[in-house]
Each structure stands twice: as structure tokens, then as C-alpha cells.
Structure 1
Amino acid sequence: MGITIRGRYYEYTIISVVDFPMITVSPFGQINDAAGKSTSTHLITLQLASGVAVSLCDYGARVQSFSSPDKAGVLQNIVLGYPNIETYVQDTSYQGATCGRVANRIADGRFELNGKNIQLEQNEGLNHLHGGYCGVDKAVWAFETDEGANSVTFKLLCTEEHDGYPGNATLCVTYTLLTTGLRIEMKGKVDQGSVLNLVNHAYFNLSGDRSNTILDHELQVFASKFTPTDINNIPLGHCESVENTEFDFRKSRGLDSSDEVFSEEHRGYDTNFCIQQLKGENSNGNEVYPCAVLRHPESNRVLSVFSNMPGLQVYTGGYLDGALPIDEFDTQEESPLRYSGVALETQHYPNSVNQPNFPSPFLKANEEYCHIVEWRMDVY
């Protein structure tokens, strides 16, 4: 009996897993820059003998798909993604991407370092968001595969001339597919004092069908505090208790349990939680601790998120708008609609470059940045 793998645009059966390649690399199309230079992109697929697989793209060192079984053993893709590179280039929602150098928001795109004022691009109103117009999600990364570890490592050199951040940064992101799920290690070094805060921006939909919203999912967040924000979604500089608020996910509950949060005015959650470090004290250490658990009652899929970072941004996709057409495989489908995925972004707090009482994202020259996140999959 073979293993059946189902995706949004494909279904195939592996008759035998003997000598089946655990890592495959395939072309994913060309990107043309403003000067007309063409760059090839690729999909790298890591797969287990069970059929569980993750496909990764070198454009933005991103997750394109992640197949996981439901209670009946049926494999489906549980992250939002696109079937072609052209749609990723047009997309503005950071689907599955590695974001930075500094992910999330910086107020007015400005901060101070060693007495010098640093002004970055303001690409979300007054805010600098996810590294600006030239963030690392827009780059084609070099990559190396390791069949022995069932992993792929993406590498990128960021220069001050390219993105406006102080100094040059050498970045690498390693994805390792394990029997328990996916481990992501984001590392970096700078050649002078600078700042790093990388995140992975995957949107999860554990139903395996992006035409369903995530409002029937249940969420638990291991946080007793969150960072309240102003009207521009910039933290006010302190943490508040989740007690008696719509941000209290200390016990698992439905994402849609607050009608006010999902009103037209608020459009769901886009909130940073202050994760309780249940293991260890050093937010840049290699020890991971639980951040969140996402459940889908119908499929019985469970995603547990572990990390060594102090914050978790929960974004329920309130500004996904389905505006991009997808034409591959003779379809006329659109990109994901509002609330069709939830991002669980482990991170430093937003605007931490301007808040000395927040955990610091600043690095000294040659100091290593290390961000680890694990997505552990199960059924119940």
C-alpha cells in the first residue's frame, strides 16, 4: 500500500518509499529585477518516509507548504502558500517568509545606536515594518542541503547600502524536518554594532483548506502579559496583565470568542504576548520553551510552538484580501481571504529598539544572534 499525499493543487501516491529521496530540489521560476536581470528560484522539499513533507523556497527563505496528517492519517498542507513565484513577488502579506533585519514594527522607522540616529524606510504609514521595502523576504538566498540531517540552510549577506541598517549582517536560516515537526534556526552576525530580529511569517490553517477560516481553531498562549499599543500598533512601552481581557489565552479557547476583536474596526488579533519562560532565563540561549498551542477540533490536528524568544505575535490575518489571482493549473483562484490563516511569530517585542525596558535586540560586533523555533505536530 502506498502513501497518498494531497496538496492544494496535486495528489499523488508513493508506491514504495525504498530509496525515495528525502530531499528534492526543483525549479520555481524566474525573478526579474528593475534592471532586467533574471534570477532563478527553487523549491526544496524535505520529506519523511511517512509522507510528511515541507517545501521551502529560496525567495525569502520561506515555507511554501507543510503537509501533516489529520486524525485519519490524511496528509494536507497546513500553511498558506502560492503555487508560483510570480504571486509571491506580488504578495504583500509575507506568506511563509523570513522577515527582517528587524521584523515587526519600528515607530517612525527610527532608532538611535551609539549616539547616531538611524532612519529606515517607512513602509507601513509612519512605521517601518518587517525590514522595509528591501527586507530579507525580498531576497533570493543561497542554500545548501544536508541529506543526513534532512535539512536545508539558506544564507544571505545584508549590506548597509542595501537596507539601511548599520553594518553588514551575515544571516543563515536552517530548516530541519523531524518526526515531531519542523525546527527552524535563524542565526546572524554583524560586523559592527547593529540590531537583528528575524521571524518566520507562516500562516497556519490546520483544516488543510484555505477556503475555511481559522475562526474554528482553538488557541492557548503561555503568557500572562501582553504589550498594549497605540493606534499605529506600536507598543506603549510596558506590559499589562491579560486578566479579564480579550487577550487571555492562558487556557485554550476559540479564536472567535470575542466579537469585538473580530469587528470591522479591529479585524482580529495582531498582538504581541510576553511569553513566560518556563525553561531557562536567557532569551538568546538555545533552550526552547512552550509559547502556544493551536488546535483544530474537526481534523484533530495540534500545533505546538516552542521558541527561545521572549515574544509571540499572534496575527489572525485580518488584512488578507484575496486580491492576487492565481492562474497556475488552469485555476482562477485568488490569494487567501481575511482570517484564512493565523501567524504565530516568535520574536523580540515590536519597537524594542526604542524601548530600553524591553528585551534587547541589539548586537555587538561579531556577537551571534540565535533564534530557534519548533513547530511540533500531533493529533488528539
Structure 2
Amino acid sequence: MIKVIDFGKHRGQMVQRYTLENVHGTRLSVLNFAGIIQEFSVYENETRVNLVLSSDDFASLTADYNINRIIGRTAGRIADGRWTQNERNIVVPTNENGHTLHGGPQGLSEQFFDVSINQEANEITLKRQQLSELDGFPGDINVQVTYQLTDDNRVILKFTGEQLKADGVFNPTIHSYFNLANPGVDNLLTHELWLNSQKHAAINADKIPTGSLLDNANTLFDFKNETNLGVILPKLRSKIKEGGLDDAFLVEPSLVKPVAVLTENNSGRRLSVYSDRNAVVAFTANQLDNDVIKDTNRGEGHPWIAVALEAQTLPNSENIPTFGHVDLAVNDTAEATIIYAYDTLK
């Protein structure tokens, strides 16, 4: 039975939480604001463990860092908020150092959705029409995101965008932050992160992909060979300004083989990520502090509290055609799928 409760108010509108549960007691709770995954938890040894960074205080989930929100129309950064599409110069609102990040200041991460329930399939569907006059992107778009929790502990997210009035772009994701450790553990140092990747995107000082791809081999970004975040993150902190991961990795798209696997060594909990697009952005919340977010299930905000694994097409592909195709012609529909599969090694 999918349960619905009120979860506070935001901008004068009621926030509702929809909770799905499977035969194993695994739960998925989603909010109608920004599609926030407020809970993805498992029940083990009479203890409930929430696998995502979260809070029971809605205000903490509306702070910066897009905690567990739907991101769109496009994920990642668009250089200068500009690109050329079908010989038209497109300019959209900017929200980070003169660039457009995660759909801009009025992207999907700042919107309410209408929600429908399918009890038989144990899924909910979030819908809204995102208007150009609101977010500044070309054309209007009908957006639909379906969340399904299966009895084999998979969360299946399906994104659909139907473009209206003018050609546009569509490259959504969900900005889920994971920490698989036992309750009370507030860092990633006992985690392993494996990525099915041999290259990552070169970026400039504003974290904008330049169009070049760098080899991962023999670097701190080789997550096929060195996966221990307890080893990698301190090295990154000592060697690069970012102090952790905020990087786009080229992966082999697959809904059969994982593009990323996160494992917590002490508990054996494992999360495998599947995606039909060519990138995963890994972000370890390197500058997060308690002025930004408080009262989470992992304590007050601090670096490396959790890792976001954002499956998408490589960012800034609007300006770099070799990075992937995110154009969506008027009256056309695009789809994308992300799967989170949970299991345990113990």
C-alpha cells in the first residue's frame, strides 16, 4: 500500500510524502516538491537504514546542494548559459558564476509536481508542464518521472520529456546522495566506488567541461582499479583545490551492466547504478557545511558526508556535440532511465 502524508508547507503549498514499501520492508519515500527522495531505506537486523542523505525537517531538504532532487531540464553546467541550436542563438538564465547549473534558477529542482499512484505496480508518477516563461529555456515541455520500487530492491526511475512550441533540450537526472554505512556514521571513508569508466571530462576553473576527455588510468580518477574512497579522498584533498570529487565520468550506457557500484565495507551494503546515458557525475559534497544544511540523518553538513551519483549525458553537451545528443525537437518525446539496485555482500 502506497501511503501519503503531509510533510509541511513550502511557498504556501502543501508538501506531501508518498511512501512505497516492498515485501522485504524496503521503503522509498518521495516528495511532490522537486521529486525529492526523502527515504530509500532497508530493514536489516531490526534496524532501519536510510541509504540516502536526508532529513525529517523539510527545511533541510530545501537548502543548497539539490539534496535528492529531480534536476532538469538539463543536468550539469551549460557554459555562459548559451548555445546554438538549429542556427538559433539560445540564451537561458544563469545561476552560478555566469553559467547555468542544473536547469537554472527555476529548473525542475524548484518546482511542485502533480502525483498519481499505481498501487498494483508499486509506483508513482510525477508530472508537470515546465513553461519557457518560467525557466527561460526554449519551448514548453511536459515532464513525467515515474518511481517504481520492485520486490528485488530496485528503484526504477523513468524520465519522459515531450517538447512543445519550439525545439529545446532535455537531459534530466536525480541528484541522489548516498551513504550506505550504519546509522551514526557520517562519512564515506569506509566506502568503495567503482565506475565503469576510462575517461573523465576536463574542466576549466568554473568547472565547465571544455570538450576534452582525460584518461583515468594512473590518476586519482581511475575508479576501475583504485576504488577505496578512504584512500582516494584524502589524496584528492591534498592535491586538488576541489578537495574531493565533482567530476563527470564517461561511462558505457547500460541497463544490464552497472555504470557505477557503491559498496560499504563494514556492512557489505551495495548499491549498483544503471543508466542508458553516457555519464555519471560523482560529487562528494566537498564544501558542504552546517551553515548550508543541518539536522540530517548523518549529522550536520560537512564534506564527504555522502556521494551524489548523477547519471546523465555528459554536461555542456549543448555546446559540445561529441559529448552526446540532448536536443529535443518540437513535438518529439525523449526518455531516460536510471536504476538503483540494492543488495548486500554479507
Partner of 1:302: 270
For 1:338 and 1:243, locate their aligned partners in 2 and report how far apart those are by CA, in whole Å: 26
For 2:307 and 2:183, locate their aligned partners in 1 and report how far apart those are by CA, in whole Å: 13
Partner of 2:188: 214
CA offset digits 1:95-136 (Å, max 9, x no partner)? 110011111101111111222222222211122101111111
The match for 1:359 among 307, 320, 324 is 324
Say if 2:339 is the partner of 1:371.
Answer: no
For 1:173, what is the secondary structure of its paired residue?
Answer: strand
Partner of 1:183: 156
**Cα 1:230–1:299 shift into 2, 3 Å:** same
Letter in 2 for 1:262: R
Q: How many residues align?
A: 341
Question: 5 Å matches for 1:113-152?
Answer: 113-152=85-124
For 1:252 and 1:62, locate their aligned partners in 2 and report how far apart those are by CA, in whole Å: 31
The match for 1:110 among 59, 66, 82 is 82
User: Offset of 1:209 from its aligned partner?
Assistant: 3.2
The match for 1:275 among 251, 266, 269 is 251
Q: Does the 8 Å CA contact 2:32/2:115 hold for their aligned counterparts?
A: yes
Question: 5 Å matches for 1:320-331?
Answer: 320-324=288-292
Q: Does the 8 Å CA contact 1:80/1:336 hold for their aligned counterparts?
A: no
User: Offset of 1:81 from its aligned partner?
Assistant: 1.4
For 2:80 and 2:71, locate their aligned partners in 1 and report how far apart those are by CA, in whole Å: 18
For 2:146 and 2:126, locate their aligned partners in 1 and report how far apart those are by CA, in whole Å: 6
User: Offset of 1:190 from its aligned partner?
Assistant: 0.4
Q: Which moved more, 1:185-194 or 1:209-218?
A: 209-218
User: Offset of 1:314 from its aligned partner?
Assistant: 0.7
Q: Does the 8 Å CA contact 2:199/2:216 hold for their aligned counterparts?
A: yes
For 1:206 and 1:86, locate their aligned partners in 2 and report how far apart those are by CA, in whole Å: 23
* Identity within the alignment, %: 30
Letter in 2 for 1:190: Q
Partner of 2:237: 262
For 2:61, what is the secondary structure of its paired residue?
Answer: helix
Say if 2:183 is the partner of 1:204.
Answer: no
User: Offset of 1:249 from its aligned partner?
Assistant: 0.8
Partner of 1:338: 303
Question: 5 Å matches for 1:280-295?
Answer: 287-295=255-263
For 2:223 and 2:97, locate their aligned partners in 1 and report how far apart those are by CA, in whole Å: 30
**Cα 1:243–1:96 shift into 2, 3 Å:** same
Q: Which moved more, 1:289-298 or 1:115-124?
A: 115-124
For 1:49 and 1:356, locate their aligned partners in 2 and report how far apart those are by CA, in whole Å: 44
Partner of 1:75: 48
Larger radius of gyration between Structure 1 and Structure 2: 1
Q: Which runs of 4+ in 1 moved over 3 A?
A: 208-211, 324-328
Question: Structure 1 stretches of 5 or more lacking a match?
Answer: 1-21, 33-37, 280-286
Partner of 1:15: none
Letter in 2 for 1:61: G
For 2:40 and 2:308, locate their aligned partners in 1 and report how far apart those are by CA, in whole Å: 14
Q: Which moved more, 1:120-129 or 1:98-107?
A: 120-129
Say if 2:2 is the partner of 1:23.
Answer: yes
For 1:215 and 1:353, locate their aligned partners in 2 and report how far apart those are by CA, in whole Å: 35
For 2:290, what is the secondary structure of its paired residue?
Answer: coil
For 1:261, what is the secondary structure of its paired residue?
Answer: helix
For 1:262 and 1:245, locate their aligned partners in 2 and report how far apart those are by CA, in whole Å: 14
The match for 2:61 among 70, 74, 88 is 88
For 1:228, what is the secondary structure of its paired residue?
Answer: strand
**Cα 1:341–1:25 shift into 2, 3 Å:** same
For 1:334 and 1:290, locate their aligned partners in 2 and report how far apart those are by CA, in whole Å: 30
**Cα 1:335–1:177 shift into 2, 3 Å:** same
Question: 5 Å matches for 1:1-80?
Answer: 22-32=1-11, 38-69=12-43, 72=45, 74-80=47-53
For 1:95 and 1:208, locate their aligned partners in 2 and report how far apart those are by CA, in whole Å: 20
Q: Does the 8 Å CA contact 2:82/2:91 hold for their aligned counterparts?
A: yes
Q: Does the 8 Å CA contact 2:199/2:215 hold for their aligned counterparts?
A: yes
Letter in 1 for 2:87: G
For the aligned residues, what is the CA RMSD? 2.0
Q: Does the 8 Å CA contact 2:64/2:292 hold for their aligned counterparts?
A: no
User: Offset of 1:346 from its aligned partner?
Assistant: 0.4
**Cα 1:211–1:133 shift into 2, 3 Å:** farther
Q: Which moved more, 1:296-305 or 1:206-215?
A: 206-215
For 1:118, what is the secondary structure of its paired residue?
Answer: strand
For 1:323, what is the secondary structure of its paired residue?
Answer: coil
The match for 1:153 among 122, 125, 131 is 125
**Cα 1:289–1:195 shift into 2, 3 Å:** farther
Q: Does the 8 Å CA contact 2:17/2:31 hold for their aligned counterparts?
A: yes
Question: Structure 2 stretches of 5 or more lacking a match?
Answer: none
Letter in 2 for 1:248: D
CA offset digits 1:158-192 (Å, max 9, x no partner)? 11100000000000110000123211111111013
CA offset digits 1:307-341 (Å, max 9, x no partner)? 1011110111112212256579xx9x964321101
For 2:109, what is the secondary structure of its paired residue?
Answer: helix
User: Offset of 1:82 from its aligned partner?
Assistant: 2.1
